[in-house]
Structure 1
Amino acid sequence: MDFDWDDAKAFLVTAETGSLTAAAKLLRTSQPTVGRRVAALEESLGVVLFERSKNSLFLTPQGERILEALQGMEQVANNVILVAKGATESLAGTVTVAVSQVDACFTMPALINELKQLEQTLQVKLEVSNDSADLIHRNADIAIRNFRPTEENLIIRKLGDAKVNLFGTPELCAIHSERDNAASTLPIIGFLETDYLTKILVDGGIAKERINYVCLSDFQLSHIELAKLGLGFALLPTKLGKKVPELNCLFPKDHSVYDYSTWLVCHSELRHNQRIRFVYDFLAERLSR
């Protein structure tokens, strides 16, 4: 009996996420492709892995046992790859750094340019997403995260603390600063899932009834462009917002809607890799200034 590891990986991710759609997103492929791979694995093994209802997938007893076995195989494969990568002594090659959308646009370009001047043979690959990169499963070698990681086997370094504020055009800021701050409705450019953002704003001192979401997008750079057009206020790191000449901070300089800490993260095995260690140490020094 033989099976394709790509089929097994599709099954693993589907089982762990609970849906073909979520698995396709993580695997960066289409839902039908994931479905075909899972079906191919079922045919290869001669068992039914999932019970399917209209909107849900449930592991069969056989599927649960096979999932457990494949997870053990995946861990062994991951460890082998991490050890092999950790043995690399050359600076030549690729280092993947996972960053947020705003960091990819405003922070990393100058740093990558400086890195290339220091080491021409080094290639930096940016994994850009506001979701957390999975270092354990090698989605990235290094990550910049805006929260303290809790996973085991990670090396973490705190880069600093940051503040977040609402930024809009000078005209929009003037209108709302002149009004009764306790009563004016604030046009907010937000993310698709508004519950968490609403909690942040309320915890930051903005009454829930004042929040009016005028546009929603998970592409954070569009928030900045929409704010520059005067549509509403974008929630941005204070240091970043102050660098956008078309925008002003709605609140006084000492006010913060939300505070967070920034962390540089790397898998412990990869710290033995000279190339990754070089990039990690470089980012730690520059970003903690």
Structure 2
Amino acid sequence: MDFDWDDAKAFLLTAETGSLTAAAKQLRTSQPTIGRRVAALEESLGIVLFERSKNSLFLTPQGERIFQALQGMEQVANDTILVAKGATESLPGVVTIASSQIDAVFRLPALIAELKKLEPTLQIKLEVSNDSADLIHRNADIAIRNFRPTEENLIIRKLGDAQVSLFGTPQLCTSLNLQKKTIPTFPIIGFIGTDYLTQVLIDGGIAKDQINYVCLSDFQLTHIELAKRGLGLAILPTNLGKEIPELECALPEEHSVYDYSTWLVCHSELRHNRRIRFVYEFLAERLARTV
């Protein structure tokens, strides 16, 4: 019996994420392609791997056993790649860094320019997303995360703590202050999934009836540009918001909507890779100054 490893990888990610669409996103392909690959694996193995309902996929008992077996094979494959990377003793080559949109625009460009001056043979590849970088499946060598990772086999280093506040034009912030005699309504430029953000704002001391979402986008640079135009308030790290001349903090200096920690993350097997270790140590030292 033989099967295509790419079909198996599509199956593994579908089983892990519970969705053809989510698996397609991680593999940077289309949902129909993932569906065809899963179907091809089912045909080659002669079994049904998933039970399909209208909106969900569930592993069959046979699919569960295949999933466990393939996970072991995937770990062997990943370990082989990591051993090969760990044997690299020269700096020339590619290092992939996963970061958020904010870090990719405001923190990393200057650091990458400095890094290239120090070591011109390095090629830096940026994976920009506000989703968590997947180091286990080799989507990145190094990741900057705004929460403490819990996965095993990762090297993690805390870079520092930060606060988040609301930022708008001076005119908008003044108008909100004038409303202090009454209960102010905050025009929020938010993310498309508002349930989590609403709870964050409530936990940060803003009542639910004070929240008015004026525009929703998952692209944070749009938040900033809309805030500059006076449409509403962008939710930004406090130290970053203060550096944008067109904006000012809408809340008192000591008020933080929420606090978070920033972590630099790398797979433990890559600690022997001179190139990746060089970039990791450089970022750890420089980013700790800016968080």
TM-score of the two chains, using structure 2 as the length reference: 0.97
Name the amino acid aligned to 1:100.
S
Residue of structure 2 equivalent to 1:27: 27
Name the amino acid aligned to 2:227.
A
Name the amino acid aligned to 1:70.
L
In structure 1, the gaps of 5 or more residues are none
1:91, distance to aligned residue in structure 2 (A): 0.4
Is residue 53 of structure 1 aligned with residue 59 of structure 2?
A: no
1:53, distance to aligned residue in structure 2 (A): 2.2
Q: How does 1:82-93 map to 2 (within 5 A)?
A: 82-93=82-93
Is residue 180 of structure 1 aligned with residue 175 of structure 2?
A: no
Q: How does 1:136-147 map to 2 (within 5 A)?
A: 136-147=136-147
1:195, distance to aligned residue in structure 2 (A): 1.5
Name the amino acid aligned to 1:254.
E
Q: Note the aligned Cα RMSD (angstroms).
A: 1.1
Name the amino acid aligned to 1:138.
R
Residue of structure 2 equivalent to 1:133: 133
C-alpha distance in 1 between matches for 2:174 and 2:252 = 12
In structure 2, the gaps of 5 or more residues are none
SS of 1:180 mapped into structure 2:
helix
1:231, distance to aligned residue in structure 2 (A): 0.8
Is residue 168 of structure 1 aligned with residue 168 of structure 2?
A: yes
C-alpha distance in 2 between matches for 1:165 and 1:278 = 34
* Structure 2 CA distance for partners of 1:63 and 1:121, relative to 1, 3 Å: same
Q: Which moved more, 1:100-109 or 1:255-264?
A: 255-264
C-alpha distance in 2 between matches for 1:160 and 1:61 = 45
SS of 2:180 mapped into structure 1:
coil
1:182, distance to aligned residue in structure 2 (A): 6.0
Q: Deviations over 1:162-204 (max 9, x none)?
A: 1111000111000001112761111000111111111111111
Residue of structure 1 equivalent to 2:148: 148
Name the amino acid aligned to 1:71.
Q
Q: Which moved more, 1:65-74 or 1:50-59?
A: 50-59
C-alpha distance in 2 between matches for 1:54 and 1:265 = 38
Q: How does 1:68-217 map to 2 (within 5 A)?
A: 68-180=68-180, 183-217=183-217
C-alpha distance in 1 between matches for 2:257 and 2:57 = 40
* Structure 2 CA distance for partners of 1:80 and 1:230, relative to 1, 3 Å: same
C-alpha distance in 1 between matches for 2:150 and 2:59 = 28
Name the amino acid aligned to 1:246.
E
TM-score of the two chains, using structure 1 as the length reference: 0.97
C-alpha distance in 1 between matches for 2:237 and 2:181 = 22
SS of 1:213 mapped into structure 2:
strand
SS of 1:72 mapped into structure 2:
helix
Residue of structure 2 equivalent to 1:256: 256
* Structure 2 CA distance for partners of 1:205 and 1:69, relative to 1, 3 Å: same
1:254, distance to aligned residue in structure 2 (A): 2.3
SS of 1:95 mapped into structure 2:
strand
* Structure 2 CA distance for partners of 1:182 and 1:160, relative to 1, 3 Å: farther
- Give the % identical residues: 80
Q: How many residues align?
A: 289
Q: Deviations over 1:12-49 (max 9, x none)?
A: 11111111111111111111000111111111112121
C-alpha distance in 2 between matches for 1:37 and 1:181 = 62
Residue of structure 1 equivalent to 2:222: 222
Residue of structure 1 equivalent to 2:16: 16
C-alpha distance in 2 between matches for 1:181 and 1:58 = 55
1:225, distance to aligned residue in structure 2 (A): 0.7
Runs of 4 or more above 3 Å deviation? none
